[in-house]
Structure formats: C-alpha cells, structure tokens
Amino acid sequence: MLPTRLLLTNVTRKMPLFYAICPDYSNNPSETLKNRLKVRPEHWKRAEEDKKAGILEFGRGTVPPASSSLHSDPNLPSNLQAMDGSIMFFRYKTIDQTWDRIKSDVYYTGNVWDKEKIQVGQFIKLPGEGDD
C-alpha cells in the first residue's frame, strides 16, 4: 500500500496548476513589512500544511528592486532579505478554490498583500498531466 502522502501527491498532480502573484501594499512599505513579519509564522504554518497536502507546489517572497527603501528599513531583521510580495503555485480543481485560498491567507486578511493588485491564473497542462 502506498503512503498517504504519495497518494495525495498523485491525486493533486492531476489537478490544474494555478499561480498567485501577490504584491504587498506599497503606500507605506515599512508598516507593511511590520505587518508581514508579525503574521509570518502563521502564514508559514499554513503553507507547510498545504505543501504536505500536495496543494502548494512552490511559494516564495519576492525581493524589491535594489532602489527600494525596504532594503535598509529599520524593521527588517539583519538576517532577512527585504520582501515586497509573494508568489505561489497551487494545485486546485478551480480558480475559485485558488482565490478562496488566497483570501483566507493571513497575509490577505492581515493587510500585507495589496488586494487590488493580486493576480491569479492558470498554467496550461503538460502532456501526461490531468485527465488522460
């Protein structure tokens, strides 16, 4: 018998692949960075759960341009890179499920991501993915 993790991964790999590009609010980058760092452990916990379930394929914070004041922000711990958003790849059946996941994330509800600028879309399927 296959381990549950392997079964979940095989099932989710057949689902469509969606991307979410989630820029942070930029009107007050220092305050947004403080909000991001405050709720970051909760965001990471949810991401780890999604990864174990085979839903999250990839996720990373995005680095602002070199000219951004975030690189020298006093709220940025010395051991972290500056961040100005997130990008994630999810496996769901529908784009609406992907939006629901984004809207339930603490970065969304905690006013880190700029709700007006979030982009969610679907990648094409490769041969061998999905319903064959």
Q: Which fold has domain 15-79+91-122?
A: Alpha-Beta Plaits (3.30.70)
pLDDT mean across residues, the chain: 90
Report how far residue 96's alpha carbon sits from residue 130's, in angstroms, rounded to the nearest whole number.
Answer: 18
Report how far residue 47's alpha carbon sits from residue 45's, in angstroms, rounded to the nearest whole number.
Answer: 5
Report pLDDT digits (tens) over 53-98: 999 999 999 999 999 999 999 989 999 899 999 999 999 999 999 9
- pLDDT above 80 for 112: yes
Q: Which percentage of the chain shows pLDDT scores above 90?
A: 79
The DSSP symbol for 78 reads: T
Find all residues with CB under 8 Å of 132, minimum gap 6, and list them: none
Do 54 and 9 form a contact (C-beta atoms < 8 A)? Answer: yes
